[in-house]
Amino acid sequence: MKYYLIVGEASGDLHASNLMKALQKNDPAAEFRFFGGDLMAAVGGTLVKHYKDMAYMGFIPVLLHLRTIFRNMDFCKQDIVGWQPDVLILVDYPGFNLKIAEYIKAHTRIPIFYYISPKIWAWKEYRIKNIKRDVDELFSILPFEVDFFQKHSYPIHYVGNPCVDAVDGYQQAYSEDFAQFVTRNKLGSKPIVALLAGSRKQEIKDNLSRMIEASRAFPEYQFVIAGAPGIAPEFYRAYMGENAEIVFGQTYDLLSHATAALVTSGTATLETALFRVPQVVCYYTAAGKLVSFLRRHILKVKYISLVNLIAGREVVAELVADGMTVENVKAQLARILPGAEGREQMLKGYESLINLLGEAGASDRATSQMIECLRQKKNKSSRSK
């Protein structure tokens, strides 16, 4: 069968590439065409456009690149219609993907599957109307989404979380010890605090300098930045000063040897928890007081980190908007270092979280359910003729 996939960022590239591998196991004749990244390209098929050419974050960058965004969207629509896949698989990236779904549903009979559902439970809940109208099947990786969508009379498939697969597979293959890791990367011998400051330039700019400033209060640790793909070392140096080191393409290696971490919210918070590394979630934004006000009055959820959202309670501290200050970072980091009061409590919270997520195998379960859904749709179509 022919599969067309659309992702818009690095985490989507990872999860979609694993999904593609699972699809290949179930469908050896699978053909892929996609808006995606290097990991998907390594699996095979045709990379139509790289997600790096489409990733714009924040109101001003989006406004400045509107013409490019609309041009990419129009090209994508026509490319899908021209290729006529057996199924369109959308991966997260709702601002773009829901517009594509609307067009494809209105102009073709191509089934539309959504893998890693839009986070409409946080805000923009009105998008449920579009999802119910345009998306044939939705495959969720967050257990609490089942109840949310059921509330809207829209049944979905919970397939498990692909981060569990990624971390489990990595840990089975990785054998380097701390001494080997620091020697290979020319690091010191002090315990490591990992800095995961985001994957986009604006996130890094907003968060890293504050993380570095807070790090000066902990001279007994070395602070090591996980460099994001596609971000040049020179960009980091403008914000990191001389108080940190940086490694690229080794986020999981770094987490394997970290004593604690400062993490910008996103998939990285969940991955850090799966590695059992105590963390502080740090997400600075400009106009912090305004953002905090809007968060209290617009967001539908109490938390921003996946760890707390899935657990349904505060497992990790979240320093958001005007709460992301250097003093707060220092105080919360001190609570989770070895011997501190909050460390064991957080580690126990991680175990409960991991039980909620379930076992590895999300990509395989998603693939099996997708193929079964396609089979049922084909049978239904044949009976109706």
Who has greater pLDDT, 294 or 181?
Answer: 181
pLDDT of 139: 97
Q: What is the pLDDT of residues 322-372, one digit of tens each?
A: 899 999 999 999 999 999 999 999 999 999 999 999 999 999 999 999 999
Confidence of residue 236 (pLDDT cuts 50, 70, 90): very high
- Note the residue count of the chain: 385
Confidence of residue 296 (pLDDT cuts 50, 70, 90): low
Which tokens is 160 given? 């498990």
Q: What is the pLDDT of residues 106-152, one digit of tens each?
A: 999 999 999 999 889 887 899 999 999 999 999 999 999 999 999 99
> Do 261 and 307 meet the contact criterion of CB atoms below 8 Å apart?
no
The arithmetic mean of pLDDT across residues 236-265, rounded, is 92
Burial of 152 (0-12, 13-18, 19+ CB in 10 A): middle
pLDDT of 69: 72
The dihedral of CA 33, 39, 41, 43: what is its sign? negative
Residue with tokens 């989507």: 12
The dihedral of CA 283, 6, 381, 374: what is its sign? negative
The arithmetic mean of pLDDT across residues 312-317, rounded, is 95
- List b or e across 216-242, with b for residues whose CB sees 16 or more CB atoms inside 10 angstroms: eebeebbbbbbbbeebeeeebeebbee
User: Minimal CA–CA distance to 103: which of 119, 123, 88?
Assistant: 88
Q: Does the structure show a pLDDT above 80 at 286?
A: no
pLDDT of 60: 47
The arithmetic mean of pLDDT across residues 239-251, rounded, is 88
> Which of 11-25, 238-252, 284-298, 338-352 shows the lowest per-residue confidence on average (mean pLDDT)?
284-298
The arithmetic mean of pLDDT across residues 41-45, rounded, is 97
Confidence of residue 290 (pLDDT cuts 50, 70, 90): very low
> Which of 90-99, 205-214, 254-263, 372-381 shows the lowest per-residue confidence on average (mean pLDDT)?
372-381
Residues of the chain above pLDDT 70, percent:
91
pLDDT of 292: 47
pLDDT of 291: 47
For residues 240 and 208, give the distance between their C-alpha atoms in angstroms, rounded to a whole number: 7
pLDDT of 145: 94
Q: Does the structure show a pLDDT above 80 at 233?
A: yes
The arithmetic mean of pLDDT across residues 8-14, rounded, is 87
Which tokens is 126 given? 């009105």
Q: What is the pLDDT of residues 147-175, one digit of tens each?
A: 999 999 999 999 999 999 989 999 999 99
pLDDT of 62: 52
Integer CA distances (angstroms), 66 to 63, 122, 354, in order: 5, 25, 40
Q: Does the structure show a pLDDT above 50 at 3?
A: yes
pLDDT of 363: 93
> Which of 54-63, 94-103, 123-132, 295-304 shows the lowest per-residue confidence on average (mean pLDDT)?
54-63
For residues 21 and 128, give the distance between their C-alpha atoms in angstroms, rounded to a whole number: 30
Confidence of residue 242 (pLDDT cuts 50, 70, 90): confident
Q: For 10, phi and psi rounded to 5 degrees?
A: -60, -45
For residues 320 and 296, give the distance between their C-alpha atoms in angstroms, rounded to a whole number: 12
The shares of helix, strand and coil residues in the chain, as percent rounded to the nearest 5, are: 55, 15, 30
pTM, two decimal places: 0.82
pLDDT of 53: 76
Confidence of residue 302 (pLDDT cuts 50, 70, 90): confident
